[in-house]
Amino acid sequence: MKTARCFLSGMIVASLGFWTALPSQAQEDGPQLDANRSYQTVSYRSNEDSASDSSSSSTATKADENATSDESTCRWCRDGKLSDPWTLPQPASLKNHGITAGGWIEGGILSNQYGAQRNGPLGFEQYGDGFKMNQLWGFLERKTNTDGCGWDVGGRVDYLFGTDGPYTQAFGDHTWDYGWNSSRDYGSAIPQAYVEVAYNNLTIKGGRFYTSIGYEVVPATGNFFYSHSYQMFYAEPFTHTGMLATYKANDVVTVFGGWVNGWDEGWQGADSGSMFLGGVTFTFSERTSLTWATTAGRIGTGRTFDDGTIGADGDVYMNSLVFTWKLTDKLTYVLQHDLGTNYNIGDADAQWYGLSNYLLYKLNDCWGVGGRFEWFQDPQGARVVAGNDGNYYELTAGLNYKPHANVTLRPEIRYDWYNGSIGPNGRPFNDGSSNTQLSGGFDFIFTF
């Protein structure tokens, strides 16, 4: 933990310095953030050319030319346009080996209409009693790139501190980074640490890495909304430890598959999980794609840990479908369906399933607007609020505003409602007394 605290202190100081500086000139070299679950994060950057019009009159003044040049390279939002974001200067020792370093800070607040301390089962945003730093994130990465021919070796390591930290530790088997917490809300995690080998169109990575399942991801930079869906938090794993191979058969079909030691477990696999992780992506055109991903096998043995908690037990089959359709150059629709079942656990099996719909509109480089509607069913009351068998619904509307190429503001408003039985833990919202809740808030992301 001493090492983690030193790393954290250094990153806070450096990040505050970057926030006050915010350079305005584009830097040609540096890492581009690409940390996400399916490696298909929707981009809200415009493809419009920001260069000055080549047909400008020859009588244009020098001031006009300078204004045009500034507009095309300025990182502050001007007329709906942004240049590329500033990135960390890369030391020669890293740059010469193709290694990039980067990260981001995310912080925000999401509160409910009742003024209750807890927001209920809203995933990472369960506490609504004040502003919090969700993610202080740093990474080192060397991407593999063979251009379809030859060998290459790479890898990636991520470090996370914040209120999202405890949720991405190896809580599946209580090893590795589990328990690296500094308070009720804050903790550290190393959610990814893997090596990747590429040969022609085949890549194989081994270590700890984010799951390939689902649409929403843990890194804040990969999501449109501040809050998360029920499916992302309650239906899917966050991380795996094992090996995963990916093969690009052609421009349409990419397949992936491998072995992992369960869900959210560390290097030891102390709960004895053993599962298959795999799927296929069909890229039908530049506008449409479909990804089917599944994980199946022994998730654990129901081990009782030292703190009295009980690990996952039995076998699990879970699959996810994500359909992405770019309706226009600015409008994107995403449909996600999850289905899971936990069996061989005693008298009764547990099942869960749902649908999430996203409609995302990119006005320009600086502004985006989006909506999400979700239905999630927990028939045995085993996934969300223990003992409550029923249906959860949520409707979320939000904005993405980028005043600067390195800064994103994400205000949102969200309405949740529950329909089902009430177990011993009470109703989902307002400290167990309500089936509905209106909540709202915002966060900021500063990348470096």
Contact 213, 233 (CB under 8 A): no
What number is the average pLDDT over the span 137-146?
A: 96
Question: How confident is residue 270, by pLDDT bands cut at 50, 70 and 90?
Answer: confident
CA distance 280 to 212: 10
pLDDT at residue number 73: 66
Is the pLDDT score of 61 beyond 90?
Answer: no
CA 133 from chain centre, in angstroms, equals: 16
CA distance 329 to 130: 38
Nearest to 390 by CA among 347, 425, 428, 420: 420
Q: Which residues pair with 447 in a beta bridge?
A: 104
Give the E-state strand segments of 211-311 in sequence order: 239-248, 253-260, 274-283, 288-301
**pLDDT tens digits for range 293-325:** 999 999 998 888 888 888 899 999 999 999 999
Kindly report the pTM of this predicted structure. 0.83
Number of domains in the chain: 1
Domain of residue 206 covers 2-447
Domain at 121, CATH number: 2.40.160.10
pLDDT at residue number 109: 97
Is the pLDDT score of 38 beyond 60?
Answer: no
Give the E-state strand segments of 305-366 in sequence order: 313-326, 331-343, 350-362
What number is the average pLDDT over the span 50-77?
A: 49
